[in-house]
């Protein structure tokens, strides 16, 4: 099992004053990301880094000017520039993190890595792999009953790097702490397996466990990450399709009632009195109305309407949640009527934080050709 990195070349020195916060989980063991010139750096260190019975505030000492700390969020962040980094392809950066409570302060000295090399890239996001893992909820949640034995393997081409050096992989919790005992990670196969924990009563609410897979070309530091959740619960809300595409025409009335027929509650079709509610909607266009009792959608898109995606979060009476993505493709917009577009744009899927590239050229009219 390879679920947690070794210290490797990290420099670690802890200075502890009497009765001040104690160091419990050093940052050197948390696989901080590699900082790269001109790119935003962000790292949320674990709440378990220091221990104290009272509130802790954080500050930096003897650290580079480009690096800042958000004490409330426990986040180190900043954007290093060329002038901030010494010579060399990979450079050590010394950081002093100060934890202060009502009794005193403790300084934790550690080393970050600054690299001028091109970083590791996430090539295959989880939403392109997760349908093969069983029941899931968009965009990266795997649904599991208690005591369930599970196993899923990620594509070996999930990550890539320009370097010929083989990548190293680590699996940790979202706060960079080690995996729980009920799940194992095989770094050689990019495989996760285990037995979901048990619940004592059928009415117990679901419990979400947040994980991340880290890939790197510099052992001990993260180059790129893939996040996913495993939600364990006695009840389950699922759908035949977790992404629904609806085509509409600007200026024409829409009435769509296909969502209800595609959703199941504990393996049974969604019906009246099922106890399923719409917990929230995110980014729904203002011209579209969602009837929360039957999930029927109605509305008339204006001529200025744009194609968009939005999320419907459903919740049953046991607090089980399910996210459904709706892609609304609008035809007959002013951009198309003006002749700017030769044809309708295709559905473009993207995840926050992931690289996206799309060539508009083939879809645009050539003004010279129309003269």
Asked if the model's pLDDT at residue 299 lies above 60, the reply is yes
Domain ranges of the chain: 13-115, 121-232, 237-370
Q: Which helix (H) or strand (E) holds 58?
A: strand 57-61
Cα angle: 237, vertex 239, 245; to 5 degrees: 140
Q: CATH number of 121-232: 2.60.40.10, 3.40.630.30, 2.30.30.240, 3.40.250.10?
A: 2.60.40.10
Q: Which of 21, 39, 173, 8 is nearest to 97 (CA)?
A: 21
- pLDDT band for position 266 (cuts 50, 70, 90): confident
pLDDT confidence band for 12 (50 / 70 / 90): very low
pLDDT at residue number 4: 45
Shared fold status for 13-115 and 237-370: yes
Neighbour order of strands in the sheet with 207-216: 136-137, 141-144, 224-232, 207-216, 168-173
DSSP characters for 18-49? TTSPEESS-GGGS-PBPEETTS-EEEE--TTS
Strand locations in 204-340, DSSP E? 207-216, 224-232, 237-239, 243-249, 254-256, 263-265, 268-269, 277-282, 288-291, 296-299, 308-315, 321-331
d(CA 3, CA 177): 10
Q: Which CATH number fits domain 237-370: 2.60.40.10, 3.40.50.150, 3.30.70.60, 2.160.10.10?
A: 2.60.40.10
More confident residue, 68 or 235: 68
User: 231 or 12: whose pLDDT is higher?
Assistant: 231
Inform me whether the pLDDT recorded for 26 exceeds 50.
yes
Q: Which helix or strand (DSSP H or E) is residue 260 part of? A: helix 259-262
Q: Which two tokens stand for residue 291?
A: 């009837």
Task: Return the DSSP state at 341.
Answer: B
Burial class (CB in 10 A: 0-12, 13-18, 19+), 64: middle
Question: What CATH architecture does domain 13-115 belong to?
Answer: Sandwich (2.60)
pLDDT at 9 over 60: no
Q: What is the pTM of this model?
A: 0.69
Report the run of H or E that residue 61 belongs to, with start and end. strand 57-61
pLDDT score recorded for residue 237: 82
């Amino acid at each position: 099992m390879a679920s947690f990195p070794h210290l490797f070349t990290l420099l670690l020195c802890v200075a502890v004053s009497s009765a001040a916060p104690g160091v419990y989980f050093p940052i050197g063991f948390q696989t901080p990301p590699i900082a790269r010139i001109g790119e935003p750096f962000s790292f949320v260190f674990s709440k378990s880094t220091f221990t104290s019975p009272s509130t802790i505030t954080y500050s930096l000492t003897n650290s580079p000017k480009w690096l800042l700390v958000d004490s409330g969020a426990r986040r180190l962040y900043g954007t290093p520039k060329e002038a901030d980094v010494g010579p060399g392809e990979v450079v050590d950066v010394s950081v002093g993190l100060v934890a202060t409570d009502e009794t005193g302060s403790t300084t934790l000295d550690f080393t970050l890595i600054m690299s001028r090399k091109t970083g590791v890239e996430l090539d295959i996001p989880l939403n392109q792999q997760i349908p093969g893992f069983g029941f899931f909820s968009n965009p990266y949640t795997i649904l599991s009953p208690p005591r369930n034995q599970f196993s899923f393997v990620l594509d070996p081409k999930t990550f890539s790097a320009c370097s010929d050096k083989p990548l190293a992989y680590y699996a940790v919790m979202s706060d960079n702490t080690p995996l729980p005992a009920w799940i194992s990670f095989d770094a050689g196969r990019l495989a996760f397996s285990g037995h979901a924990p048990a619940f004592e009563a059928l009415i117990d609410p679901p419990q979400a466990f947040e994980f991340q897979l880290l890939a790197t070309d510099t052992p001990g530091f993260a180059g790129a990450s893939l996040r996913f959740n495993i939600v364990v619960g006695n009840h389950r809300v699922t759908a035949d399709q977790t992404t629904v595409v609806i085509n509409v025409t600007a200026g024409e009335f829409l009435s769509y009632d296909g969502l209800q027929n595609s959703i199941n509650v504990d393996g049974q079709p969604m019906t009246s009195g099922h106890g399923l509610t719409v917990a929230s909607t995110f980014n729904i266009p203002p011209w579209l109305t969602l009837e929360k009792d039957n999930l029927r959608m109605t509305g008339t898109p204006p001529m200025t309407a744009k194609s968009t995606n939005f999320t419907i979060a459903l919740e049953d009476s046991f607090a089980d949640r399910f996210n459904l993505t709706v892609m609304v493709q609008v035809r007959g917009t002013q951009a198309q009527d003006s002749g700017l577009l030769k044809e309708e744009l295709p559905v473009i899927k993207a995840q926050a934080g992931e690289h996206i590239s799309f060539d508009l050229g083939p879809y645009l009219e050539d003004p010279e050709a129309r003269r």
